[in-house]
Amino acid sequence: MSGEHVLKELAAPEEALSRLLAKCRIGPRAAEYVGVRSAVGRVLAEDVVSRRDVPPFDRAAMDGYAVRSADVSSASQSSPAVLRVVGEASADRPFTGRLGRGEAVRIDTGARMPEGADAVVMLEYTRREGDTLYVYSPASPLQNVAVRGEDMKRGSLVARRGTLLTPYDVAALAAAGWSEVRVYAMPRIAIASIGSELREPWEASPEDVVETNRMVVAGVLSGYPVVVADKGILPDDIAVLEDFYSRASEEADMIITMGGTSLGKGDYAVRALERAGEVVVHGVSLYPSRPVALGVVGGKPVLALPGYPVAVAIGMSVFGEELVRLLCGIEGRPVKPRLRGKLLRRLPSKLGLRHYARGRVVIREGEVAIEPVVTSGAGLISSLSSSDGFVVVSEGVEGYEAGEEVEIELYRRYIRGGER
């Protein structure tokens, strides 16, 4: 291709993704087995059911005395039931006898219920003198008892295919009798920055442009079960970039580049991508990320992002994470933490573009307010580090006025909430 590449149309983000998915299959790799202790953050490749009842026996849910409910059915403060203590039961030392009429066993939480007992009376409702126990409250059958299979029954579903496993999922799988689980193999994602002017942080002089976009992309990808292949900085050379896209498509499941997508003579990545494969979309209705390109090389998806840091962050949020979700086999809707609050000043926006404005959360007298940080300037990386998230303004809205209530998508796990 020769000449300048021009954005003839801006596709909506959803339409752009749909076009890409129509051109190439994006899905998980083959499955593998991993130890359940190593499965946190991996994606389950099959439905898993419990191999056992949990708990595996009836057990005490409270510290107290195991009794026969019929022996204490009419116990009260004025007329306690009188029982004889015949033993003790702990989690590691169960009572081995059978509880008879008028008998009780001192029992710890988690201990197996003695045979013949069907309830536990809490300690605070009893008084003991030697082997004589006074019970001042009635108990119904199975009161304070965790019955066998109450948590999970043998054969019941523990976790579904496509679950991004949390520590709680893994704990449930282990309790259900699984020492290994089948998960999807981690996809390999090649990343590179494009720009002859760029320098690595450790080799840059005060006058050089420091490359930071790979840190952002790799950081976002660290939240997913993927292998990142960092290919470094590539020059503004179409032949070199074409070779990179071709080679990377042979060893990676997805390619992400930053830079070289702008209009005119600066679109080295787009022209190289067109030579190596196919440009499916170039130009989306996002601000400030319009020159995003989506393509396919060797059947592998390519996400070519503009080189400005804010555009990279937005492009990863809108496109990158959704493509990675599909590659990893994660099923379900993504959930991002959000807060609502009143704008502290006007937030302008351009009609026809979905605007991702940076904002910070301010908490005043217990009420949440949102302060726009910068409404333009995609190259200002400090605007990301000084913000808490994005206020998304839809295409049909021409900004919001001060005092209007808006929603902010948070990318921080913790917020200070003070004015900075």
**CA angle 57-59-63, nearest 5°?**
170
Residue 85 to residues 49, 82, 137, 273, 314: CA-CA distances in angstroms?
A: 41, 10, 17, 81, 68
Token pair recorded at residue 397:
């809205």
Per-residue pLDDT, 375: 61
Q: Cis omega before residue 288 (within 30°)?
A: yes
All CATH 3.40.980.10 domain ranges of the chain, comma separated, are: 13-29+187-328
Q: What's domain 36-53+151-184's architecture?
A: Alpha-Beta Complex (3.90)
All CATH 2.170.190.11 domain ranges of the chain, comma separated, are: 59-146
Contacts of 373 (CB under 8 A, 6+ apart): 357, 358, 359, 360, 383, 386, 387
The distance from CA 184 to its chain's CA centroid, rounded to whole angstroms, is 16
Contacts of 282 (CB under 8 A, 6+ apart): 5, 7, 261, 267, 270, 291, 292, 293, 294
DSSP strand pairing (338-343 vs 367-374): parallel
96-125 tens-digit pLDDT: 999 999 999 999 999 999 999 999 999 999
Per-residue pLDDT, 318: 96
All CATH 3.90.105.10 domain ranges of the chain, comma separated, are: 36-53+151-184
- Contact of 20 with 162, CB cutoff 8 Å: no
Report residue 145: phi and psi, to 5°: -125, 130
d(CA 353, CA 288): 9
For the chain, residues with pLDDT lower than 50 are 1-4, 420
Instruction: Identify the helix (H) or strand (E) that includes residue 214.
Output: helix 213-221
Domain 59-146 class? Answer: mainly beta
Burial 70-102 (b: 16+ CB within 10 A, else e): ebbeebeeeebbebebbbebeeeebbeeebeee
Token pair recorded at residue 175:
């309790």
Per-residue pLDDT, 277: 98
278-319 tens-digit pLDDT: 999 999 999 988 999 999 999 999 999 999 999 999 999 999
Per-residue pLDDT, 7: 57
Residue 42 to residues 35, 47, 164: CA-CA distances in angstroms?
A: 11, 14, 6
Instruction: Identify the helix (H) or strand (E) that includes residue 293.
Output: strand 293-297
Domain 338-410 class? Answer: mainly beta
Contacts of 148 (CB under 8 A, 6+ apart): 53, 55, 56, 57, 58
DSSP state, residue 414: S
Report residue 91: phi and psi, to 5°: -60, -35
- Contact of 340 with 392, CB cutoff 8 Å: no
Per-residue pLDDT, 3: 46
- Contact of 40 with 170, CB cutoff 8 Å: yes
Token pair recorded at residue 414:
């913790």
Q: How many CA atoms lie within 13 A of 377 on its CB side?
A: 10
**In the CATH hierarchy, which fold is given to the domain comprising 13-29+187-328?**
Molybdenum Cofactor Biosythetic Enzyme; Chain A (3.40.980)
What three-state secondary structure class fits 336? coil
Instruction: Identify the helix (H) or strand (E) that includes residue 215.
Output: helix 213-221
Per-residue pLDDT, 415: 87
- Contact of 32 with 42, CB cutoff 8 Å: no
Burial 308-333 (b: 16+ CB within 10 A, else e): bbbbbbbbbbbbbbbbbbbbbbbeee
What three-state secondary structure class fits 229? strand
